[in-house]
Amino acid sequence: MSIFARPHYTSEATNFIEQLKKDKPQLDAQQQQGRSLLWDKEVDADVWQDYRAGKVAQKAYVYYSYTPVGKRTTPI
């Protein structure tokens, strides 16, 4: 036996999850089904390419319209 060996330890959270899975064996299937509703989607690459091509460049700070000094029409 190694001097560094420790007794087996499981945290309260691990014990809770293991007990929950024992009590509700359908829980994994329900989680997979819930995940598929939001995350597991087919991605259409052509649609995304069109979406990205239609983006308009945005200025760094949208609430301030910067006009270079030489281009101003009214004095400050």
Quote the pLDDT of residue 71: 64
CA angle in degrees (0–180, nearest 5) for 4-9-11: 140
Q: Quick one: how far is CA 38 from the chain centroid?
A: 11
Is the pLDDT at 11 greater than 90? The verdict is yes
In a domain, 3, yes or no: no
In a domain, 7, yes or no: no
| Residues of the chain above pLDDT 90, percent | 39
Is the pLDDT at 76 greater than 60? The verdict is no
In a domain, 17, yes or no: yes
In a domain, 61, yes or no: yes
Q: What is the Cβ-side half-sphere exposure of residue 44, based on CA atoms within 13 angstroms?
A: 4
Quote the pLDDT of residue 29: 94
Quote the pLDDT of residue 66: 64
Quote the pLDDT of residue 5: 77
The total domain count for the chain is 1
In a domain, 52, yes or no: yes
Query: In terms of residue numbers, what domain contains 37?
Result: 12-71
